[in-house]
Amino acid sequence: MMRISDVVVFCLGNLFRSKLRTFLTVCGIMLGTGSIVLTLAFSYTTAKNIEETAKKGGDLTKIQVQRAKYNPNKGRSKDGKKAMSGAPSESNNDLDFGQELVDKLSKIPGVDFVFPWICMYGYGEYCVNAGKDYMWRDARICGLDFNKPENLKEMGYTLLPGGEWKTNPPNAKTKNIVAGALTAYEASNVRAHNYEEMQRNPWEAYQNTTNDVKPFFDMKKAKLQLTVLNENGHKQLARWYTDWYQKWGEGSDDDNGSQGEESSSTTIDSFSGDKFNLKVTGIVTVNGFDPANRKWKIIKELYDLGKWEEAERLGWLYADLGTVKELKGLLEKSAVATNGETRKKEKFAYDEIAVIAKSWDDVTSVVNVIQDQLNYKTASKRGEIEEQKKQSDGLRVMLFLLGVMTLVVSALGIANVMFMSVTERTREIGIMKVLGCGINTIRTIFLAEAGIVGFLGGTAGVGGSYALAKGLSKLMKYATTPEFMEKAANNIRLAKISETVNHFSVMFSLQEGQDVIIIPSYLVVGGILFGIIVGLVSGFAPANRAVKISALSAIKTE
């Protein structure tokens, strides 16, 4: 019985007799194993990068319920497959989107809370003003559930110190509201004589953090008034706009009128309609932005990160759900619409309903209930991630099949080499049998040779994959540096490389600093073991052939 160390030494000696043949066989295993390892690593990295990117954007457990049917077939798309997020479609006004739906959603297992949202848009239906000097032309008043401040905080609505979410009793003439930190910039100076004086525009400050833009006034100290316009008030507002644009708008002859002259005989604080005083009880902030210190860099960072919605929140007014419902009811009673026609009374509906799952793992089950049982379309981060993964599935499958084909060819190569080795060493096998070498030992020697070839090929494949992954990741990262971009601006070849890198990054959702391919430790071990298994399987038939050779016939062989 030969010791394991003797078998290994003996096998290596046999393999090195035909160095070129052994080298080519090892290269075949290396290419096949490397292709499969790279494909699996690429799949792992793509999924990991997509999830990391999605998690940076927040709202991981948020499920947006759409006012549209998921599918007439109750939860199945046309091809019968499940979908985590429905494609955008027009709203179906016949579907319930009110409190009844909110109550149903709240009872779904795995739901933490439901967050309904309603909004009023001031396109001639109402106006908010601060005395006779300032007015919001397109004021947006959003209705939120003020009774659950913990949910508001979870959804990103944070108040500056001292602020409070205060609800209003029904029909109160003074309404408590919360204002975004940038709402004072959204007002218009109605006494201005040109566009530059009419509005405060902090947009330049977002891009140039050294430029300071001061608001018109302090929102918490200003005396604010809300007017829900009736038919006459609507006409007064339209006439006021017409007068202002004729006198001070683009193309007007008079740009130097006296300061303080009114644009219309009707002042903005006297428009007809239901009037309410507004009391600001808090200021909504994002990342600590405060109108008192105006750190514009905070806003710029939000826009750079693509968090448009969070930045926009700073320009809105907020009231509790009951107050906004009440104001919407007054709008319907006033029969005022922007087209001058009588408003059609519709069943109450929220503008948006978000469902917050208890955890990332609960998102799928909650989505399934909303789609299959309630038959509403949804959109979620998890759905977006799955869609992005599907987009890269085609390339991953192609690479995987290519690796399998290479590995099959390599396995056939090992089998062929081993059969040739058996044929060439027939006399040697006969002598071993005559000297008393057992059948199992002979089989072990040939299987060991095949296993060593597989081990060398698998190790080389994993090592080459690792080196390629690291090199490609470093190249991608370098191609996005300012230094490389500067060189690419003056070099056509480098410009093409930069363009290719950008396309690749967009295709596979790569963000700055992320690796193209990461090879986890389990793939390193798995790749080597896989190479050994392929070698052993390929060498099994030749090894069996070797043990069946007759000792006397083998000795007679030249």
- Quote the pLDDT of residue 79: 47
Residues 110 and 366: beta-carbon distance below 8 Å: yes
Q: pLDDT band for 263, please (50, 70, 90 cuts).
A: very low
Bigger pLDDT: 363 vs 441: 363
Tens digits of residue pLDDT in 324-350: 999 988 887 765 444 455 555 667 899
Tens digits of residue pLDDT in 16-75: 777 887 888 888 888 888 888 887 887 777 777 766 666 655 578 889 999 888 875 554
* Segment among 93-97, 331-335, 439-443 with least mean pLDDT: 331-335
Q: What residues contact 409, with CB distance under 8 A and at least 6 apart?
A: 28, 32
pLDDT greater than 50 at residue 255: no
pLDDT greater than 90 at residue 387: no
Average pLDDT over residues 129-145: 87
Residue type, 487: K
Q: pLDDT band for 539, please (50, 70, 90 cuts).
A: confident
Q: pLDDT band for 165, please (50, 70, 90 cuts).
A: very high
- Quote the pLDDT of residue 250: 55
The token pair that represents 556 in the structure block = 């007679």
Of the CA atoms within 13 Å of residue 191, those in its CB half-sphere come to 11
Q: What are the CA-CA distances from residue 218 to residues 24, 162, 181, 214, 263 (Å)? A: 79, 15, 10, 10, 25
When mean pLDDT is compared over 1-15, 21-35, 197-211, the highest value belongs to 21-35
What's the whole-number average pLDDT of the chain? Answer: 79
- Give the C-alpha separation, 331 to 342, whole Å: 11
- Quote the pLDDT of residue 283: 93
Rounded to the nearest 10 degrees, what angle do helices 492-507 and 439-478 cross at? 110
pLDDT greater than 50 at residue 359: yes
Average pLDDT over residues 431-441: 76
Nearest to 196 by CA among 213, 210, 218: 213
Helix (H) or strand (E) holding 529: helix 521-547
Average pLDDT over residues 441-460: 85
* Segment among 44-58, 91-105, 181-195, 363-377 with least mean pLDDT: 44-58
pLDDT greater than 50 at residue 76: no
Q: pLDDT band for 90, please (50, 70, 90 cuts).
A: low
- Quote the pLDDT of residue 77: 47
Q: Where are the domains of the chain?
A: 4-54+391-556, 117-252+259-350
When mean pLDDT is compared over 308-312, 450-454, 479-483, 490-494, the highest value belongs to 450-454
Bigger pLDDT: 211 vs 153: 153
- Quote the pLDDT of residue 34: 85
- Give the C-alpha separation, 113 to 395, whole Å: 39
SS3 379: strand
- Quote the pLDDT of residue 253: 47
- Quote the pLDDT of residue 338: 45
- Give the C-alpha separation, 136 to 182, whole Å: 12
CA 441 from chain center: how many Å? 58
Q: How many CB atoms lie within 10 A of CB 422?
A: 23
Bigger pLDDT: 350 vs 234: 350
- Quote the pLDDT of residue 432: 75
- Give the C-alpha separation, 423 to 474, whole Å: 48
When mean pLDDT is compared over 29-33, 244-248, 319-323, the highest value belongs to 319-323
- Quote the pLDDT of residue 58: 56
Q: pLDDT band for 269, please (50, 70, 90 cuts).
A: confident
Bigger pLDDT: 362 vs 56: 362
- Give the C-alpha separation, 352 to 387, whole Å: 23
- Quote the pLDDT of residue 99: 92
The token pair that represents 25 in the structure block = 């066989």
pLDDT greater than 70 at residue 249: no
Q: pLDDT band for 225, please (50, 70, 90 cuts).
A: very high
- Quote the pLDDT of residue 490: 79
pLDDT greater than 50 at residue 78: no
* Segment among 202-211, 213-222, 294-303, 519-528 with least mean pLDDT: 202-211
pLDDT greater than 80 at residue 423: no
- Quote the pLDDT of residue 256: 44
When mean pLDDT is compared over 259-263, 485-489, 529-533, the highest value belongs to 529-533
Q: pLDDT band for 178, please (50, 70, 90 cuts).
A: very high
Q: 534: buried, middle or exposed (CB in 10 Å: 19+, 13-18, 0-12)?
A: buried
pLDDT greater than 50 at residue 279: yes
The token pair that represents 134 in the structure block = 């300032």
Bigger pLDDT: 394 vs 427: 427
- Quote the pLDDT of residue 257: 41
